[in-house]
Amino acid sequence: RKEVEQDPGPFNVPEGATVAFNCTYSNSASQSFFWYRQDCRKEPKLLMSVYSSGNEDGRFTAQLNRASQYISLLIRDSKLSDSATYLCVVNLYNQGGKLIFGQGTELSVKP
Amino acid sequence: ETGVTQTPRHLVMGMTNKKSLKCEQHLGHNAMYWYKQSAKKPLELMFVYSLEERVENNSVPSRFSPECPNSSHLFLHLHTLQPEDSALYLCASSPGQGNSPLHFGNGTRLTVT
């Protein structure tokens, strides 16, 4: 089982749609979770840190389910500018806090 | 200048060349990282430095040699690379190691011919 596994993409959605990405992780000792966004040929940029109670930032909502070891990202009212690859990142607490990246889920929002 | 800066942005080198990638961070962070991103693959951690001391080396071939002279600068020295080493090389920094999110530089796109 991969340490961090994301929904395979790509996701093609119309503007205004709601889209959700899931990410599962294998290391139950993980303590920190993040979602990054990466535009084509650019560096990843932090989108959200994921807190145990779940958190919301505008149209974006992140949730953590420790029992099932998955993290989700919900995007409401999708914009064209949301088109990017979304990376799930998990730390391996019992390996010195190493951060492991998922392979990414590509989102394409169409007019 | 703020953030994490990488130079050069693009690099083409032959298999017998020696080159270096440079990374500089102006965020006052204590940890710096090198990641490799190949097409259709997850980011791969190569090296981690915390307070200028290497704490992680993910079985990277010796043709990649990191150097961290101080907490603001990180280098990746390259020699006798292979075509399969062509990738985007990303430098990142974080306040501490582990629980903090990473701040990435804009990357060096390397092509080995």
At B32, the amino acid letter reads M
B27-82 pLDDT per residue, tens: 999 999 999 999 878 899 999 998 878 877 778 999 999 999 999 999 999 999 99
| Tokens linked to A80 | 């064209």
Rg (CA), chain B: 13
Quick one: which of B94, B84, B91, B85 has its CA closest to B108? B91
Longest dimension (CA), chain B: 39
Q: How confident is the model at residue B2 (pLDDT cuts 50, 70, 90)?
A: low
CB contact under 8 A, A98 and B102: no
3 state SS of B34: strand
Q: State residue A8's pLDDT score.
A: 82
Q: State residue A34's pLDDT score.
A: 94
At B49, the amino acid letter reads Y
Instruction: Name the range with the highest mean pLDDT among A46-60, A95-109, B22-36.
Output: B22-36
Residue A2 has pLDDT above 90, yes or no: no
Distance between CA B45 and CA B42 in Å, rounded? 10
CA distances from A97 to A30, A42, A59, B24, B98 (A): 8, 25, 29, 23, 4
**A103 against A28, higher pLDDT:** A103
A96 chain-B contacts, CB cut-off 8 A: 55-56, 97-98
Contact criterion met (CB below 8 Å) for B22 and B73? yes
How far A73 CA sits from the closest chain B CA (Å)? 17
